Structure 1
Amino acid sequence: MQIHRKTVAALCAAVVVAAGLTAGQIATRPSPAAAVPATIPLTITNNSGRDVVYFYNLGTDLRTGRQGWADASGNFHAWPAGGNPPSAAPDASIAGPASGRSTTIRMPKFSGRVYFSYGRKLVFRLTTGGLVQPAVQNPGDPNRNILFNWSEYTLNDSGLWMNSTQVDMFSAPYAVGVQPVGGSLQVTGHLKPTGYSSFFKALRGQPGGWANLIQKAPDGTVLRALAPTYGVETGLLPRNAMDDYVNRVWSKYSKQPLGVTPFANQPGLKYYGQVSGNVMHFRNSAGAVVTSFEKPDSASIFGCAGRLDAPNDLVRGPIARTLCAGFNRSTLLTSPNQPDGNRSNYYRDVVTNHYARKIHAQMVDGKAYAFAFDDVTNQEALAHDGSPQQASMILDPMN
């Protein structure tokens, strides 16, 4: 199964924890393997007002490393070999509950996605390299005119990480939750009562091409808003959308250092970045250069990739994640010490990630996964527990 790097911050939690890091600087509570059973129940509640919904549980089986899907009972099915051109994937759909009802399926130890679609089944195909994910920034994608969304999750011996994500697009709203053994259900990802319509209204009113991110069905119904990384990629958003802010950041830190403390639980570990020409060099406390970043463009900032690539290591990746969050939230000019944990400072500059700004503004708890490293300072909508008893997805109405 092929999943874009920028959408898997929560899915990589097991790898990060094993390396001694914390995913998005969240504190995890390791638990014995016996505390997490082979499958846990996922209760799906449909409050959307729509009666026809399909679910898909797709990903990598963490017991075998094979890619495939899980049925409603949590049984794993490996994908057959794909082709070139891509061949049709087996029908992995699970019929969801009618509006006002709930149903429960089983989640195995997976790293993947739970997709859901309204009215029509999604189209999945297989290549020789694995599953072809929906890519609705492409006008020819067969899922372009289907209303759908997905949650990303990892369930392994250390617990469950499940998030409500808008990293790729803002579409059909939903929330996720986890109930620990002996505890109550903890839910995140709900929009405010008028949040869905208010987001699109706000995006339409944002100058600079941001309204171009909105996609509609042939009948004019709003389907989604693409994330700005795809807006830049497809020409819907200007390639220079972040240039003015980047130029000001580069000017400021050519004269003074930028301090980065990438791990909340290691306050003494700090790196110092300073600009020389088109490159920002980061040094450790001993003065040795540990990594360098070319002056980023808008695509690198919105995608947290390219010139801000973040490998799963202990130095460059954590620094890149912090820079990415600072650029998207426009906090690099207001504080020479990053990350900035004060949410009131976020998105205050006229040049910022307005897509992320408007999503966070419409969330009940203010938390969302609006760009790849929105988990820096724990601003993401993440349901996590080391001893999960059950998980939940709540499909919300599109007011």
Structure 2
Amino acid sequence: MSRRVPTRFGTLPVWVSALLLALGMTALAPEASARSAVPNTIPLKFTNNSGRGDQIYIYTLGTLLSTGQQGWVDAAGTFHAWPAGGNPPTPAPDASIAGPASGQSLTIRIPKISGRVYFSYGQKLDFRLTTGGLVQPAVQNPSDPNHNILFNWSEFTLDDSGLYINSTQVDMFSAPYAVGVQGADGTVKSAGHLKPGGYRGVLNALRAQPGGWAGLIQTRSDGTVLRALAPGHGIEAGALSGTVMDDYINRVWQKYTSSTLTVTPFADQPNTKYYGRVSGDVMNFTNGSGAVVTSFQKPDSDSVFGCYKRLDAPNDQVRGPISRTLCAGFNRSTLLTNPNQPDTSDAGFYTDAVTNHYARAIHAQMADGKAYAFAFDDVGQHESLVHDGNPQQASITLETFD
């Protein structure tokens, strides 16, 4: 699956683990989980407010948490393990569910899995299986069989601690949608809603941004805009220069050659601090005793956008939290204006001329300002995620392309 998507089909997805770490939390203890009594399946209400006439196809795919098996889920919430794949990849079973027409809703069920709900417009997605499991669509690859299909996906985990569900733009900005969860008291929490005109607003902002950012937009031969690639995928596809962030990276490296970057990665542990100084092409981080705890090679633009390679973030208590903080600071261009990170106020985000303009455009058009425009957009709680420990119903709502 995509190296930039925050969800991984595992016991606890990386984006949930990262969020818990950012909040200074850990997974619920077994006794707390038992008290929550989350049922084995919950309803997911899928509403089509897109205003389009295309047939919608829905897919629920992921890893069954009780066994670790990968597979798909039917409309009744029954999990089906994938059959063995091949090399070259073999077609996967048709896991599609016919979705509702515009203005209508369909309720399906989801079990305790960590995975994705895909939805496509007008055409079924082409999923394949290798000996290693499911092949996810690679939107940056023009030869991918799904390249010319309008589609998108949400990511979720339903487990004993409840439901986590997000809207994501980590790989691409495409067909607009919002997610929600209804709690036991009837309260509904939602995320991912665009402002009126927000879909076109994101695309227009990219078109107007000098430096190749318009090249992220991919259009089908009939004129349909399919998606805007995330910048890391844009670099991979040759649509955006691999040096687009270099000027900012160089300025950061120069600044912290003679000053100190202080990282306080855990919200509930204000006394846990790490101190970064640059020596040559390496930024070394020390703890309060002056011992070096981790070091980072000077990143390139792709490392920044993908929060990987030279900014790899293992799911540990030291390097991962520091790397997530650096990644957020680079993408939001706050490392020069604030030597104390993370910068949790969005007032100074994306103000440098060299920044992640894709993330800037998306956040500017969200109704609440929150999005998953890069993998660690949850640093400072700026992500489009909802959670409830006793979920009664999940929801995905397709929105208009205005």
Q: Give the TM interval when normalised to the shorter protein.
A: over 0.9
CA–CA separation in structure 2 for the residues paired with 1:13 and 1:162: 15
Corresponding residue of 1:175: 178
Select which of 44, 49, 52 maps to 1:50.
52
RMSD (Å) for aligned C-alpha atoms: 1.9
- SS for the counterpart of 2:295 is strand
Select which of 209, 225, 241 maps to 2:228.
225
CA–CA separation in structure 2 for the residues paired with 1:4 and 1:224: 16
- SS for the counterpart of 2:366 is coil
- SS for the counterpart of 2:360 is helix
Corresponding residue of 1:216: 219
Given that 2:11 and 2:65 are in contact with CA atoms closer than 8 Å, whether structure 1 keeps it comes out as: no
CA–CA separation in structure 2 for the residues paired with 1:20 and 1:164: 16
Report the CA distance between 1:18 and its aligned residue: 10
Query: Could you tell which deviates more after superposition, 274-283 or 7-16?
Result: 7-16
> Structure 2 vs 1, CA of residues 210 and 26 (structure 1 numbering), >3 Å: closer, same or farther?
farther
The yes-or-no answer on 1:304 pairing with 2:302 is: no
CA–CA separation in structure 2 for the residues paired with 1:268 and 1:110: 36
CA–CA separation in structure 2 for the residues paired with 1:284 and 1:199: 41
Corresponding residue of 1:266: 269
Given that 2:179 and 2:396 are in contact with CA atoms closer than 8 Å, whether structure 1 keeps it comes out as: yes
Report the CA distance between 1:190 and its aligned residue: 0.5
Corresponding residue of 1:22: 20
The yes-or-no answer on 1:281 pairing with 2:279 is: no
The yes-or-no answer on 1:119 pairing with 2:137 is: no
Given that 2:6 and 2:14 are in contact with CA atoms closer than 8 Å, whether structure 1 keeps it comes out as: no
CA–CA separation in structure 2 for the residues paired with 1:367 and 1:23: 19
- SS for the counterpart of 2:257 is coil
CA–CA separation in structure 1 for the residues paired with 2:19 and 2:374: 20
Select which of 149, 160, 163 maps to 1:160.
163
CA–CA separation in structure 1 for the residues paired with 2:235 and 2:23: 29
Given that 1:125 and 1:132 are in contact with CA atoms closer than 8 Å, whether structure 2 keeps it comes out as: yes
> Structure 2 vs 1, CA of residues 11 and 338 (structure 1 numbering), >3 Å: closer, same or farther?
farther
> Structure 2 vs 1, CA of residues 287 and 26 (structure 1 numbering), >3 Å: closer, same or farther?
closer
Corresponding residue of 2:39: 37
Aligned partner letter, 1:42: L
The yes-or-no answer on 1:80 pairing with 2:83 is: yes
> Structure 2 vs 1, CA of residues 19 and 120 (structure 1 numbering), >3 Å: closer, same or farther?
closer
CA–CA separation in structure 2 for the residues paired with 1:353 and 1:45: 32
Deviation by residue 1:262-292 (Cα, 9 ceiling, x = unmatched): 1101111000000000000000111110000
Given that 1:11 and 1:152 are in contact with CA atoms closer than 8 Å, whether structure 2 keeps it comes out as: no
Given that 1:260 and 1:339 are in contact with CA atoms closer than 8 Å, whether structure 2 keeps it comes out as: yes
Report the CA distance between 1:180 and its aligned residue: 1.3
Aligned partner letter, 1:46: N
Given that 1:10 and 1:152 are in contact with CA atoms closer than 8 Å, whether structure 2 keeps it comes out as: no
- SS for the counterpart of 2:262 is strand
Report the CA distance between 1:360 and its aligned residue: 0.3
User: Once the two structures are aligned, what percentage of the paired residues are identical?
Assistant: 68
Aligned partner letter, 1:41: P
CA–CA separation in structure 2 for the residues paired with 1:75 and 1:239: 44
CA–CA separation in structure 1 for the residues paired with 2:16 and 2:226: 39
Given that 1:60 and 1:112 are in contact with CA atoms closer than 8 Å, whether structure 2 keeps it comes out as: yes
CA–CA separation in structure 2 for the residues paired with 1:86 and 1:11: 19
Select which of 87, 94, 97 maps to 1:94.
97
The yes-or-no answer on 1:237 pairing with 2:237 is: no
Select which of 373, 395, 398 maps to 2:398.
395
Aligned partner letter, 2:257: S
Superposition map of 1:277-356 within 5 A: 277-356=280-359
CA–CA separation in structure 1 for the residues paired with 2:287 and 2:175: 44
What is the number of residues matched between the two proteins? 397
Deviation by residue 1:21-70 (Cα, 9 ceiling, x = unmatched): 71543868944335211011101111001241010000000011000001
Report the CA distance between 1:132 and its aligned residue: 0.7
Given that 2:178 and 2:190 are in contact with CA atoms closer than 8 Å, whether structure 1 keeps it comes out as: yes
Given that 2:48 and 2:397 are in contact with CA atoms closer than 8 Å, whether structure 1 keeps it comes out as: yes
Superposition map of 1:353-372 within 5 A: 353-372=356-375
Residue ranges of structure 1 left out of the alignment (5+ in a row): none
Given that 1:13 and 1:23 are in contact with CA atoms closer than 8 Å, whether structure 2 keeps it comes out as: no
CA–CA separation in structure 2 for the residues paired with 1:15 and 1:113: 11
Given that 2:22 and 2:321 are in contact with CA atoms closer than 8 Å, whether structure 1 keeps it comes out as: no
TM-score (normalised: structure 2): 0.95
CA–CA separation in structure 2 for the residues paired with 1:185 and 1:21: 21
Aligned partner letter, 2:4: K
TM-score (normalised: structure 1): 0.96
CA–CA separation in structure 1 for the residues paired with 2:16 and 2:123: 40
CA–CA separation in structure 1 for the residues paired with 2:24 and 2:99: 32
> Structure 2 vs 1, CA of residues 364 and 26 (structure 1 numbering), >3 Å: closer, same or farther?
farther
Report the CA distance between 1:14 and its aligned residue: 3.8
- SS for the counterpart of 2:247 is helix
> Structure 2 vs 1, CA of residues 67 and 38 (structure 1 numbering), >3 Å: closer, same or farther?
same
Given that 1:40 and 1:391 are in contact with CA atoms closer than 8 Å, whether structure 2 keeps it comes out as: yes
Aligned partner letter, 2:318: V
Query: Could you tell which deviates more after superposition, 179-188 or 280-289?
Result: 179-188
